């Protein structure tokens, strides 16, 4: 395949090697958790934790409006101008520059800005879903911010969101929004069969709520947990018999036995001639496997194509 010639229909997807931005990734992960936990503390509990996720904007991520007394406020990560914006329904605003700084310093500045706006929120200060966690207000280890790497990460999120939104539109059953979970630091989309799932043995309250019903879930994350690079994933919960042995598309996709999900490496997507079709094939074929083997009522759940 000759990629030396420009193709106006082919998106320019940037490289995102995990080894080159791991330190920034870890720091940004902690910053999004701090912001996300404010939303968790203030917003109503919505099924499957949909109410705590962040959502994409034209230039970053947002909490969407958060209630606080007689006002509402919103927290936005701007990954174009690299700033954090806190805006209230009273027209007040505070802006923090996103730059190299420790998690502890970010936590201090962020909470001070909230307080300056008359907003005082108490959060659980320990990170979740992160190895060797350190309290936010004590973490002086994670302090990197490579603006170029974050901008490239944002471009991948934005493009992935566009493809996943189109994929979501084909399903008329219960479906999550395309949203960003700050715990696992991934962009996710989940379809539901409509049936209650059997209880997961030993599941904590968070996991039990997340998987209370049968799902086929897919998304994008920058890598980790033994996966050396950014990847798209897809899994079924509960996993039906034979799911791991299915022949899915494209040929570069594979089943990861430890993670119990199919993976398609981001580098394989960005290097192909038709990235959108490549990713769509992955999303569709892995869903087909989950829904068919799980005996979902597909005629009732999927939009018919004329």
Question: Which tokens in the block code for residue 158?
Answer: 């934005």
pLDDT at position 305, please?
Answer: 60
Q: Answer yes or no: is pLDDT of 158 > 50.
A: yes
Q: 293-306 pLDDT, tens per residue?
A: 999 999 999 998 64
Average pLDDT over all residues of the chain? 95
> Residue 8: pLDDT above 60?
no
Average pLDDT over residues 204-226: 95
Q: Mapped to the 3 state alphabet, what secondary structure does 196-222 carry?
A: ECCCCCCCCHHHHHHCCEEEEEEEEEC
Report whether pLDDT(4) > 80.
no
Q: What is the pLDDT confidence band of residue 252, given thresholds at 50, 70 and 90?
A: very high
Closest of 169, 189, 294, 166 to residue 242, by C-alpha: 294
Place of tokens 């936990």: 37
What are the backbone angles phi and psi of residue 154, rounded to the nearest 5°? -60, -40
Short-list 55, 40, 35, 57, CA closest to 109: 35
Percent above pLDDT 70 for the chain: 96
Q: Output the pTM of the full model.
A: 0.95
**Phi, then psi, of 17 in degrees rounded to 5:** -65, 125
Residue 132 has a CB neighbour count (10 Å cut-off) of 6
Q: Of 41, 23, 291, which Cα lies nearest the Cα of 171?
A: 291
Give me the pLDDT at residue 7, please: 53
User: What DSSP letter does each residue of 155-206 carry, written as one string?
Assistant: HHHHHHHHHHHHHHTTB-SSB--SEEETTTTEEEEEEEEEEEPPPPTT--HH
Dist CA 5 CA 276 (whole Å): 18
Does the pLDDT at position 221 exceed 90? yes
Domain residue extents for the chain: 18-138, 147-301
Q: Average pLDDT of 24-32?
A: 98
For 45-103, the pLDDT digits (tens) are 999 999 999 999 999 999 999 999 999 999 999 999 999 999 999 999 999 999 999 99
181: Cβ–Cβ under 8 A, 6 or more apart, which residues? 49, 52, 53, 54, 188
pLDDT value of position 11: 85
Band (pLDDT 50/70/90 cuts) for residue 283 is very high
Which of helix, strand or coil describes residue 109? helix
Lowest mean pLDDT among 15-19, 96-100, 199-203: 199-203
**What is the C-alpha R_g of the chain?**
20
Query: Read out DSSP for 257-297?
Result: TTTTEEEEEHHHHHHSS-HHHHHHHHHHHHHHHHHHHTT--
Contact assessment for residue 264 and residue 253, using Cβ atoms and an 8 Å cutoff: yes
């Amino acid at each position: 395949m000759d990629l030396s010639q420009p193709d106006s229909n082919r998106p320019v997807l940037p490289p995102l090697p995990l080894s080159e931005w791991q330190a920034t990734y870890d720091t940004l992960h902690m910053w999004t958790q701090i912001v996300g936990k404010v939303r968790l503390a203030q917003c109503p509990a919505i099924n499957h934790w949909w109410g705590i996720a962040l959502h994409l904007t034209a230039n970053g991520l947002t909490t969407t409006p958060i209630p606080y007394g007689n006002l509402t406020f919103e927290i936005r990560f701007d990954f174009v101008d690299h700033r954090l914006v806190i805006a209230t329904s009273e027209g007040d605003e505070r802006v923090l520059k996103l730059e190299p700084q420790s998690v502890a310093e970010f936590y201090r500045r962020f909470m001070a800005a909230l307080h300056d706006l008359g907003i005082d929120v108490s959060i659980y200060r320990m990170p979740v879903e992160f190895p060797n966690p350190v309290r936010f207000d004590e973490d002086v280890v994670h302090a990197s911010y490579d603006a170029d790497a974050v901008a490239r990460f944002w471009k991948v999120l934005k493009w992935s969101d566009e493809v996943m939104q189109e994929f979501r539109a084909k399903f008329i059953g219960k479906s999550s929004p395309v949203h960003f979970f700050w715990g696992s630091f991934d962009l996710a989309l989940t379809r539901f069969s409509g049936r209650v799932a059997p209880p997961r043995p030993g599941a904590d309250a968070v996991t039990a709520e997340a998987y209370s019903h049968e799902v086929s879930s897919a998304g994008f994350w920058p890598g980790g947990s033994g996966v050396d690079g950014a990847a798209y994933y897809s899994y079924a919960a509960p996993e039906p018999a034979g799911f791991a042995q299915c022949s899915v598309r494209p040929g570069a996709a594979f089943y990861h036995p430890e993670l119990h999900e199919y993976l398609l490496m981001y580098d394989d997507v960005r290097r192909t001639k038709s990235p959108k079709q490549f990713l769509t094939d992955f999303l569709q074929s892995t869903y087909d496997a989950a829904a068919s083997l799980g005996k979902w009522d597909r005629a009732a759940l999927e939009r018919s194509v004329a």
